[in-house]
Structure 1
Amino acid sequence: MNEDQIAELLSGNIVYLLAALFIIVVILKGVRIVPQSEKHVVERFGRLRAVMGPGINFIVPFLDVVKHKISILERQLPTASQDAITRDNVLVEVETSVFYRITEPEKTVYRIRDIDAAIATTVAGIVRAEIGKMDLDEVQSNRSQLISTIKASVADAVDDWGIEVTRAEILDVNLDQATRDAMLQQLNAERARRAQVTEAEGRKRSVELQADAELYAAEQTAKARRIQAEAEAYATEVVAKAIAENGLEAAQYQVALKQVEALTALGNGSGKQTIVVPAQALEAFGDAFKLLKGRG
């Protein structure tokens, strides 16, 4: 084999090698593997050609170019603070945090330059607008409702940018020192008022219970007197009935019984005592004892 043949063979092999190398480069440039957490924006001659999702994708080599690689993972904006004035003219400083993710990269790439700054500005404006509709007490007590309103408003505002707002948080609502001092005084005054109301209600309840007790005692006394009166009336009725049936003898018997009971009570008195009884009384007692003996 002469030198010309060798040179011709080498040149043919180089052509084959170059062709093989070109085919390999074309294949490598035409096949794109996109990670699960990304989407790739493809351009052709400077215009949007396609958006490639996760997995194996094919493009036209040398014509199509992967211009943007966009992460679709959830992102968190840096914590932002903005001043706002409530409906009752109280200046507050609100700390917010927003989480979002890109769902349509072609909108994010071609419609907005700095997406984080745009979202932060939008959130600040919405927070000021919503807090301006509420009193300070409502901001403090209805924070969950305020968060939901802010999230919905931000989601509507950034929809044209291909973004989904996944979460919005109000981390803190700060007040200036003068407002805090005024609120503390108001809180102390409210506590004092509640204590006075509680004390007054206690005194009122005590008076009501005392009145109930007195009323109950009066009712019981009246009941006892009524029972006693009924007993005395019954006794009088029995005596009257006995007199009607037995005549004067029954009346004398009752008088004699009372005289004996009185004499017995005097005799049972404490200490030594002398009882002087007139002669007429002795005769009466004698008659009473006769009656009692006759009854016995």
Structure 2
Amino acid sequence: MGPSILVLAFVVIGYTIGSVRIIKQGNEALVERLGRYQRKLRPGLNFIVPVVDSVVLEDTIREQLIDIEPQSAITADNVPLDVDAVVYWKILDLERTYYAIENVEEAIEELVTTTLRSAIGKMKLEETFSSRDELNKVLLDQLDEATEPWGVKVTRVEVQSIEPPQQVRDSMQLQQAAEIKKRAAITEAEGEKQAAISRAEGTVQSMRLLSEALQSATNRQQVLNFLLAQQYVEANQKLGESSNSKVVFMDPKFLSEGLVELINEPTDQVEPGNND
């Protein structure tokens, strides 16, 4: 084998090695020929023309994540906030992404920051907490529209945290505590109201039953005297169970008359001599 053949063999081997490009799954690559865009390489085995062609970019087309650092923003009611977000995005057209924007990740990050501040500036403080889903949707719509010329698709935006100053947080906690106390007081008052209604209804029902019983009874006075004595006894018992010192003034005549009448109430007894 002569020297010329060896040289030719080395040239062929070098050309073959230099023309082979293997692109990983999930990636794409751009090829320029003499400084001008020529074609796109797909995952797998690809061949280019050495020296004439060059691979200028290989990048992933899978979904990616950008974690936005906390940014300062001011609400519509002039409350400063620190807000951070997470952006999920992917490249749809690698050619446009490479040639339309210098640094797509940095551009997306700056766009998110600007859009986030603008959206927060249109909302009041309470709305930023209660309408976070709406805020996410607004950010997604605006970012998706703005990044479309770059061949990029923003798939999701999530506002992670909204942090007002410590003084504002303290005020919010006090307001929340006051609201909880207010709801508890309303609940307690409503419970007492329902209990009072139930007691009143019970009293009315008891009085109705007592009235019906008295109307059909022949010894009405005796029944009333018994009930009166029972009420006095129960009241004295409750007062005696209390640990506090007390002096109770009662009308002994009022109580004694009822007790006497109850005790001396004639009963059906058999008179002496009537043993028949």
Query: Could you tell me the TM-score, scaled by structure 1's length?
Result: 0.67
Q: Give yes or no for the alignment of 1:56 onto 2:29.
A: no
Q: CA deviation at 1:213?
A: 1.4
Letter in 2 for 1:123: V
2:197 is paired with a residue whose SS is helix
Indicate the SS of the match to 2:57.
strand
- Which of 66-75 and 92-101 deviates more? 66-75
Q: How does 1:74-223 map to 2 (within 5 A)?
A: 74-223=63-212
Q: CA deviation at 1:226?
A: 4.3
Corresponding residue SS for 2:163: strand
Distance 1:58 1:34 in 2: 11
Aligned to 2:22: 33
Distance 2:73 2:182 in 1: 32
Q: CA separation in 2, counterparts of 1:80 and 1:86?
A: 18
The letter for the 2-side match of 1:90 is V
Q: CA deviation at 1:28?
A: 2.4
Alignment-mate amino acid for residue 16 of structure 1: I
Cα distance change on mapping 1:203 and 1:81 into 2, 3 Å = same
Q: Distance in 2 between matches of 1:31 and 1:199?
A: 81
In the alignment, the residues of structure 1 paired with residue 191 and residue 24 of structure 2 have an alpha-carbon distance, to the nearest angstrom, of 73
> Residues 23, 267 of structure 1: CA spacing in aligned structure 2 closer, same or farther, 3 A cutoff?
closer
CA distance in 1, matches of 2:153, 2:268: 111
- Structure 2 unaligned spans of 5+: 219-265
Spell out the pairing of 1:226-265 with structure 2 (5 A cutoff): 226-228=215-217, 265=266
Deviation at 1:266, TM superposition (A): 8.5
Counterpart among 70, 75, 83 of residue 59 in structure 2? 70
The answer to whether the Cα contact below 8 Å between 1:96 and 1:172 also exists between their aligned partners in 2 is yes
State the partner residue of 1:279: none
Question: How far 1:19 moved relative to its partner?
Answer: 2.3
Residue-pair matches, total: 225
In the aligned structure 2, how far is the partner of 1:169 from the partner of 1:110?
A: 28
Unaligned runs of 5+ in 1: 1-9, 230-264, 270-288, 290-295
Report if aligned partners of 1:80, 1:120 keep a CA contact under 8 Å in 2.
no
Q: Deviations over 1:148-201 (max 9, x none)?
A: 432333222212212232433222111101211221221222122223212321
Identity %: 33
Q: Secondary structure at the match of 1:79?
A: strand
SS in 1 for 2:196: helix
Q: Shift in Å at residue 61 of structure 1? A: 3.2
Q: How far 1:116 sits from its partner (Å)?
A: 1.8
Asked whether the equivalents of residues 97 and 152 of structure 2 are also in contact (C-alpha less than 8 Å), the reply is yes
Return the alpha-carbon distance in structure 2 between the equivalents of residues 146 and 226 of structure 1: 73
Opposite residue 80 of structure 1, the aligned amino acid is E
Judging changes above 3 Å, is the alpha-carbon distance between structure 1 residues 267 and 28 closer, same or farther for their aligned structure 2 residues?
closer
The answer as to 2:10 corresponding to 1:21 is yes
What is the TM-score when the length of structure 2 is the normalising length? Answer: 0.71
Q: Secondary structure at the match of 1:153?
A: helix
SS of 1:62's partner is coil
Q: Matches of 2:132 and 2:268 in 1, distance apart?
A: 91
Moved more, 90-99 or 41-50: 90-99
Cα displacement (A) at 1:23: 2.3
